[in-house]
Chain A
Amino acid sequence: MPELVNLEVFRYSPEHTPEPRFQKFQVPYNKEWVVLDALNYIKDRTDGSLSFRWSCRMGICGSCGVLINGEPKLSCATFLPSKSSKPIRIEPLRHFPVIRDLIVHIGDFMTKLKKVKPWIIRTNESPLSEGEFLQTPDEMERYHQFSHCINCMLCYAACPIYGLDPLFAGPAAIALAQRYNNDSRDQGAARRMPILSSHDGIWACTFVGECTQVCPKHVDPAAAIQQYKLTAALHSLKSVIAPRGAA
């Protein structure tokens, strides 16, 4: 008799299960299996209607974030626990509307991402024929960490502020804005400032720090936000002391 693992999976379907519920499943234990393999086992053999997102299965596409026993995790990067007496509870990411089962709607993030202008802004264009912009490894190091965000949304699911105040721009969007602000090739920091230093930008953050805890790519969005608070505070201080100079 192979060892079995018990799962409790969140189910919701507006057509058939309008009242959300947890459904119990059993899958064989396999030490090489991640939670995603268990979900696929269920979908392939037991219940083809179980719905979830996944793609690369190597922790880089950012599709498969769910709550596993309450913690936001990538289901492809979380091994099944062995000899677990309690069932593993799998739920859709917190703070997002659920479309179906484990699938959440992330349109809100996509809108906010665009708002922070996450692209290189240049005031003076230089032609490709002049070659690359020079950037030393040290200059790259100043933004590199923030460029590793895979948009998996685990930080939004971990952030109680986002849960309570859906207008908050959120950890990933701010980290990505800061990624460009810190890039030596970018000249757009001033254009991002009105969005970032608004009420729903960095100042909504009370530094819970959970975003950084759950980030699977060690982006440290909390640091990005606190850094920008300092930048914005210094900027407004300057605009009080020397209004023209700071403008």
Chain B
Amino acid sequence: MTSHSGYTLHHPQWLRRRVSTWWWLSRWRYFKFILREITSVFVAAAVVLLLLYVAALRRGPDALIAFQSWLSRPPILAASAVVFFFTLIHSITWFNLAPKAMKVRLGNIPVPPALIAAGHYFAWLVISLALAWIILTGG
């Protein structure tokens, strides 16, 4: 038999293929997934911004005004817009995922996925409006 020298009789010699570092470039859907994962840093950035805001608030009115003027500088405004945009996208993908994870039933009737998603969007809208009302009338 013309056997390969590395082969041992009756011993399995499986070919193990390594996953390439660039696997996420191999398919558009993988690439989209990685984009989604990477852009979650903007959600983290939104959280950091919020924390900075709270910290400024704690330090007193002067610090708050300084922070707000920093926020209104054009490069920071642009960055905030980007952060807002991706936070929005991630909120939408999150709410779209909700019907997959939640199987809601009213009595014996399963609630259709679209309705579950709609419920989430509705709650989002209500909470946003409530916040807007507090901020706009309270400020």
A/B touching: CB–CB < 8 A: yes
Q: How large is the interface on B (under 10, 10 to 19, 20 to 34, 35 or more residues)?
A: 20 to 34
Q: Which residues of A contact B6 (CB under 8 A)?
A: 14, 18
Asked if residues B3 and A160 are in contact (CB atoms below 8 Å), the reply is no
Interface string of B86-115 (1 = CB under 8 A from A): 000000000001001111000010100000
Closest-CB distance, A48 to chain B (whole angstroms): 17
Residues of A within 8 A of B (CB): 12, 14-16, 18, 20, 70, 94-95, 97-99, 105, 136, 138, 141-142, 160, 163-164, 206-210, 213, 220, 222-223, 226-227, 229-230
Q: Which residues of B contact A207 (CB under 8 A)?
A: 97
Q: Which residues of B contact A95 (CB under 8 A)?
A: 19
Asked if residues B19 and A210 are in contact (CB atoms below 8 Å), the reply is no
Chain A's closest residue to B4 (CB) is A18
Asked if residues B4 and A70 are in contact (CB atoms below 8 Å), the reply is no
Say which residue of A12, A141, A226 sits within 8 Å of B100 (CB atoms).
A226
Identify 17 new A-B residue pairs, CB closer than 8 A, beyond the known A138-B108, A213-B29: A12-B15, A14-B13, A14-B14, A14-B15, A15-B4, A98-B15, A99-B14, A105-B14, A136-B108, A141-B110, A160-B23, A206-B37, A223-B101, A226-B100, A226-B101, A227-B102, A227-B103
Q: Which residues of A contact B13 (CB under 8 A)?
A: 14, 18
Could you name 8 residue pairs across A and B whose Cβ atoms are closer than 8 Å?
A: A14-B7, A18-B7, A18-B13, A160-B24, A206-B37, A208-B30, A210-B30, A227-B103
State in angstroms the CA–CA spacing of A142 and B3 once bound together. Answer: 54
In the A-B complex, the 8 residue pairs with the smallest Cβ-Cβ separation, listed nearest first, are: A97-B14, A226-B101, A14-B13, A98-B15, A163-B19, A223-B100, A18-B4, A230-B101
Q: Which residues of B contact A230 (CB under 8 A)?
A: 101-102
Q: Which residues of A contact B101 (CB under 8 A)?
A: 223, 226-227, 229-230
Chain B's closest residue to A18 (CB) is B4
Closest-CB distance, A65 to chain B (whole angstroms): 16
Q: Which residues of A contact B16 (CB under 8 A)?
A: 97-98
Closest-CB distance, A34 to chain B (whole angstroms): 23
State in angstroms the CA–CA spacing of A227 and B97 once bound together. Answer: 10
Say which residue of B3, B17, B30, B37 sits within 8 Å of A98 (CB atoms).
B17
Chain A's closest residue to B3 (CB) is A15
Q: Which residues of B contact A15 (CB under 8 A)?
A: 1, 3-4, 7
Q: Which residues of B contact A222 (CB under 8 A)?
A: 100
Q: Which residues of B contact A229 (CB under 8 A)?
A: 101
State in angstroms the CA–CA spacing of A18 and B8 once bound together. Answer: 12
Chain B's closest residue to A91 (CB) is B17
